[in-house]
Structure 1
Amino acid sequence: MIHLFVDNIKDPQRPLLAPNYWILRKIGLILPENKINKVIFVIIHELVTVFVITQYMELYLIRSDLDLVITNLKVSIVSFICIVKTNTFVFWQSSWKEVIDYVTEADNNERKDSNTAMGHIISSYTTYCRRLLKFYWTLILSTFFCVTGTPLIRYLSSSNYRDAISNGTEPFPHIFSAWVPFDKYSFPGSWVIVCLHIVMCAYGAMIMSAYDTIAMVTMVFFGGKLELLRERCKNMFGCDGSGVSDDQARTALRDVHSMHVHLMKYSKLFDSLLSPVMFLYVVMCSFMLCASAFQLTMATNTTQKLLMAQYLVFGIAQLFMFCWHSNNVLEQGTQVMMGPYESEWWVIGPKQKQEVLILTEQLRIFEAFSAGPFSKLTLSTFITILKGAYSYYALLRN
């Protein structure tokens, strides 16, 4: 179903970002031009922010029960990161649009090139982005059903638990733990809360689907653009050994230089938008993974264990994909400077050869995307976070 849905979202003006741009507009991360609709979306985003604040109010109220705090903490952390993504995207709307417009324009310009090798690179990263989108949306959807279905599965899988709820020895199960100004454990308040929690969970799933995939697809594009830049460097002085004129060589060098400067400009802008969010995520991810693993080992019901395991897998997979794609861009950035050496540089004049050396040094400049001022989004960072989560888990177990 998701595969057909994604394939049917097409936009001739945005061949790469069509599905991403569609969901960004539908969920309201890209605010509409109409002022009334814009205000409505902003109010919705802020109401969800208030709801997440009530989750932490509830955590404060139950702070004496460690098991209950750990159980609720894993969801509350994800909720907090979700509203940070929402509010930063809306607050930095113009900068995000600038990055999206650059990716769209640069991708469209590359598609006009008839070079076979470059066409293969474009087709490769476009296909990969579609597969990544389908996989991530499927993962989000399964996690949504996992989170919303856990209380129901727990209720249906144990007759003793149902009896305990009926006689009042166990409270009515909720998806989230959040404070409300009415009785949420008895009818009708209990079912009002169930409906509210399902809506909030669906909203959070769509926000993560929109934000995470636009970030990952942008990383994939930057990696593809670096690969295209290397291919363009190979061909800038011809491919048949006959050479080019000084003017043609100068034009080719200027074009490559300009493309790299623009790529660096927008990659830094993108990093400035993503870095604060990823810093928060990296800091809190260890606690979230630790809480999920601890709850998984404490569960006694097999069905509950499977649902908790799926949630843990989602947290690890989400972090891994950010680190993997950032690491891939870094690798492409270190390889792009080989492009001028792979060209037919020997057919040009001495002055152009000096300019090639200058260009090669410029192409060395590229850094991995960061998670705040202290760490880079690389696979080594991913491993470090997993080690930290395991350390916290071992501490809790002991």
Structure 2
Amino acid sequence: MIKEFLQSLEDPNRPLFGPNYWLLSKIGMLLPKNRINIILKLMIHAIGTLFVFTQYTELYVIRSDLDLVLTNLKISMLSIICVIKANTFVFWQGNWRQVIDYITEADKFERDNQDEAKGHIINTYTKYCRRVTYFYWVLLFTTSITTIITPLMKYCSSEKFQEGFHNGTEQFPHIFSSWMPFDKENSPGCWITVMWHIGICAYGATVVAAYDTGVMVILVCFGGKLDLLRIRCREMLDTEGKGVSDENADKVIRELHRIHVLLLKHSRLFNSVLSPVMFCYIVMCSLMICASAFQLTSATSTTEKLLMAEYLIFSIAQLFLFCWHSNDVIGKSEGVMMGPYESDWSASNLKQRKNVLILQGQMRIVHIYTAGPFTNLTLSTFVNILKGAYSYYTILRK
């Protein structure tokens, strides 16, 4: 059944981006053409944004309780990143579609012009994209289920809490801490709030799953395209030592230059829509990891520790995947300039060598993905964020 469902997500028109395109369309981040459906999708995003405001309203109300503040802050920071991802994707719809269309066409071009070496790279990054997409979807599903059942686990695992709840000293255990315009501690308001929170949790998990896996697949595609470009550069002057004519050499080098310029153009366009989101995410993630670690060490029951540990692992894994894939593209971008040197340039004539040198100069331009104007998305940044989160944690512990 699961295999049949995953197979139904495949799209022959988008052999690489099919499942990701499906989820982006279903959640309404890629808006449909029908005007009524557009309005409905925008209303869903507006409701999600409204929920974030109710969370920060509640945060102000409970500001005197540190434990409640940390619990609310941890979730509300994730919520605000979620709505930023959804709203910026919708706002920059044209740019995102341009990037998605480019990687689709570039991927089709490579599949239509592949040999054994190129086919191995294409199959490898396609399988990798599916694995990382489905793994991340499972991770998001697990985290959302964990978030939903946390109040129930808290109630079932603590006899003291059960006694306090029944005698009125403990409040109703809600999934999220958010302001509601009615009494959310007693029936029927408490159950309306629970259903509202479950719906919001499902929306947030779907948005994060669609956005994050879409970004990762695009980064993997850019990295795969750089690997394929390096092979093409290696083969541009023939691989059998016979050489090629000046006319053919000019044609091939011009085509390689065009491919790299298009890749660089869309890579920069992609960074322009990703960078502001990543800046907000890195700032929030540092605080989120810190709050999760603090609650993990201060939790008293084993159940609470397991739930906090799962949430902490998700936060770290999410940040790591972004930095890992970005760092991988940067490394391949630096390596692609070796392609012209790996060609049979020594057997070419002076004119062809000059063209190879010009192409090599073009290939020296490195693809960099940033988190705002302050830092690059690299593994070094990931390590620095963990160090910063640990520093905040030690301050809280004191």
Between the aligned partners of 1:162 and 1:118, the Cα distance in structure 2 is 62
8 Å contact kept, 1:29–1:89? yes
State the one-letter code of the partner of 1:119: G
Q: Following superposition of structure 1 onto structure 2, how do residues 2-151 of structure 1 map, counting pairs within 5 Å?
A: 5-151=5-151
SS of the residue aligned with 2:236?
coil
Identical-pair percentage:
58
1:313 equivalenced with 2:313 (yes/no)? yes
Question: What pairs up with 1:272-351 in 2 under 5 angstroms?
Answer: 272-351=272-351
Residue 241 (structure 2) aligns with: 241
Answer yes or no: is 1:155 the counterpart of 2:142. no
Separation (CA, whole Å) in 2 of partners of 1:380 and 1:271: 18
Counterpart position of 2:364: 364
Aligned to 2:269: 269
- AA aligned to 2:351 is K
In structure 2, the gaps of 5 or more residues are none
1:166, distance to aligned residue in structure 2 (A) = 1.2
**Contact residue 81 and residue 280 of structure 2 kept, 8 A:** yes
CA contact (8 A) 2:267 2:367 kept: no
Partner Cα distance (2:39, 2:322) in 1: 31
| Deviations 1:291-323, CA, capped at 9 Å, x for gaps | 001111111111111111000000000000000
1:348 Cα offset (Å): 2.3
- 1:166 partner letter: H
Give per-residue Cα distances to partners, 1:70-126, cap 9 Å, x unaligned: 121111100000000000000000110000000000000000113111111111100
Distance of 1:370 and 1:89 partners within structure 2: 17
Q: Distance in 1 between matches of 2:365 and 2:264?
A: 8
Question: CA 1:73–1:3 in structure 2 vs 1: closer, same or farther (change >3 Å)?
Answer: farther
In the alignment, residue 95 of structure 1 is paired with which amino acid? N
In structure 1, what is the equivalent of residue 187 of structure 2? 187
Counterpart CA distance in 1 for 2:36 and 2:127 is 37
Structure 1 residue matching 2:297: 3-state secondary structure: helix
State the alpha-carbon separation in 2 of the partners of residues 176 and 227 from structure 1: 45
Report the residue type matching 1:380 in the other structure: S
Higher mean displacement: 360-369 or 271-280: 360-369
**Structure-2 change in CA distance of 1:114 and 1:216 (3 Å):** closer
Separation (CA, whole Å) in 1 of partners of 2:171 and 2:42? 34
TM-score, normalising length from structure 1?
A: 0.98
Give yes or no for contact 2:264–2:367 (8 Å, CA) kept in 1.
Answer: no
Displacement after TM superposition at 1:271 (Å): 0.2
Q: Is the 8 A contact 1:249 1:348 kept in 2?
A: no
- How many angstroms does 1:160 deviate by? 2.2
Specify the alignment match of 2:257 in structure 1: 257
Counterpart in 1 of 2:226? 226
Contact 1:234 1:343 in 2 (8 A): yes
Q: Deviations over 1:325-361 (max 9, x none)?
A: 0000000000000001111112322111101011101
Tell me which residue corresponds to 2:378: 378
How far 1:9 sits from its partner (Å)?
Answer: 1.4
CA contact (8 A) 2:323 2:381 kept: yes
Q: Aligned Cα RMSD in Å?
A: 1.0
Deviations 1:195-248 (A, max 9, x none): 000110000000001000000100001011000000000111111111111111
1:368, 1:378 within 8 Å by CA — same for their partners in 2? no
Once residues 27 and 50 of structure 1 are traced to their aligned partners in structure 2, the CA distance between those partners, rounded to angstroms, is: 17
Output the CA distance in 1 between the equivalents of 2:227 and 2:384. Answer: 29
1:210 equivalent in alignment to 2:221: no
Q: Matches of 1:3 and 1:171 in 2, distance apart?
A: 43
The code of the aligned residue for 1:359 comes to L
Q: CA deviation at 1:159?
A: 2.2
CA distance in 2, matches of 1:2, 1:368: 37
Structure-2-length-normalised TM-score = 0.98
CA distance in 2, matches of 1:381, 1:158: 40
Distance change >3 Å, CA 3–CA 389, structure 1 → 2: farther
Cα distance in 2 for partners of 1:66, 1:153 equals 21
Question: What amino acid is the match of 2:97?
Answer: K
Whole-angstrom CA distance in 2 between matches of 1:6 and 1:276 = 32
Measured in 2, the distance between the counterparts of 1:138 and 1:36 equals 32
| Residues 3 and 134, structure 1, Cα contact 8 Å, conserved in 2 | no
Equivalent pairs counted in the alignment come to 398
Structure 1 stretches of 5 or more lacking a match?
none
